[in-house]
Structure 1
């Protein structure tokens, strides 16, 4: 898989870049570190806006022009650890042939490990992967310190509002593979800039 050309981060306004994650459990606002993790943030923004060419792993069709994160499920939640999302397979019904947590956008890209970005507490936004250089579309938000993930997963943001929603999602009833028993859906991602700390 070749690394894609990431589109420029085109979010109008002034101040720091943020994303408001509208979920069926409430809203979470994250500040995105576009200066410290530019490639990872450009990937997230491109998938959120549909400006990057991604491929649906089930239909095999291009999703360019369609925001990839709209309608994906939080497919793995572990209390005290993290909540995970971003698999386009979760837009389709789970089955033996469609295992949530195994999908991606049809490409991979390299890690970004600036030394100052660490998994130092609750609310850290970081990329899920299956080894070095295997970032795609899946990401997670921590519910506590996870220093063992430093320099293994690329941190690219931090929750600034809605940490209670992260906790709520992490504690929903779950079954095999830490999959929630009832769907927790990321309905849409709202990108904006703000000089002040926004609210959820």
Structure 2
């Protein structure tokens, strides 16, 4: 048989063509994310002015506005949030918690990659910073981490695009200290149930 046509997606970075929260992110409007997990709720302020494309990616994958490729089927997914049901697959006490991989392995992505955004010169100067995980320069996808430390050695290596404004002690630290295996994967899944985006602080 003939090979199936390649399914391709890319990050929406055109503010004129974008809709909804992706458009607001690309235009630099302040946005917030309410992340419900099975360990409690984390509220994050997103830095649209500093990292518009990175925030557009996160809010698009949270709401379903951003298309992605299902790692299970290879099909293009539209209108369905990538992050719903995805786990924090890597937690390291006194460092950070990492999630957002649709495969739950640390090797997955949304079917595209996009560039770093470092123009703000923000650094990892306090805990509770939201940043993109990557595999080197300009390899951002859907994986992110929230710090429980101040890893300033990561400055200029991982795009910072938000910070925790609620739920740090009660939820982020709790997730950071769950029992885990030698690969730093929690013994019991820590699940992102849903992420709600808003343009006013919840």
Q: Does 1:166 align with 2:150?
A: no
Q: Distance in 2 between matches of 1:33 and 1:9?
A: 18
Q: Does 1:66 align with 2:80?
A: yes
Residue number in structure 1 paired with 2:11: 4
Residue number in structure 2 paired with 1:22: 36
Matched residue of 2:188: which SS?
coil
* Number of matched pairs: 185
Q: Distance in 2 between matches of 1:81 and 1:51?
A: 31
| 1:102 maps to which of 85, 104, 107 | 107
- Larger RCO: 1 or 2 (CA < 8 Å, sep 6+): 1
Shift of 1:16: 3.2
Q: Distance in 2 between matches of 1:163 and 1:8?
A: 32
Matched residue of 2:186: which SS?
coil
Q: Distance in 2 between matches of 1:2 and 1:191?
A: 22
Residue number in structure 1 paired with 2:181: 175
Shift of 1:52: 1.2
Q: Does 1:133 align with 2:138?
A: yes
Deviations 1:95-141 (A, max 9, x none): xxxxx110000000000002431111110000000000100000000
Shift of 1:8: 3.2
Q: CA RMSD in A?
A: 1.8
| 1:31 maps to which of 45, 59, 65 | 45
- Name whichever of 53-62 and 134-143 sits farther off: 53-62
| 8 Å CA contact retained: 2:129, 2:163 | yes
Shift of 1:193: 2.1
Shift of 1:9: 6.1
| 8 Å CA contact retained: 1:27, 1:162 | yes
Q: Does 1:116 align with 2:109?
A: no
| 8 Å CA contact retained: 1:8, 1:42 | no
Q: Distance in 1 between matches of 2:99 and 2:115?
A: 19
Q: Which ranges in structure 2 are unaligned for 5 or more consecutive residues?
A: 1-7
Deviations 1:64-117 (A, max 9, x none): 111000000000000010000000012xxxxxxxxx110000000000002431
| 8 Å CA contact retained: 1:22, 1:28 | yes
Q: Distance in 2 between matches of 1:193 and 1:89?
A: 29
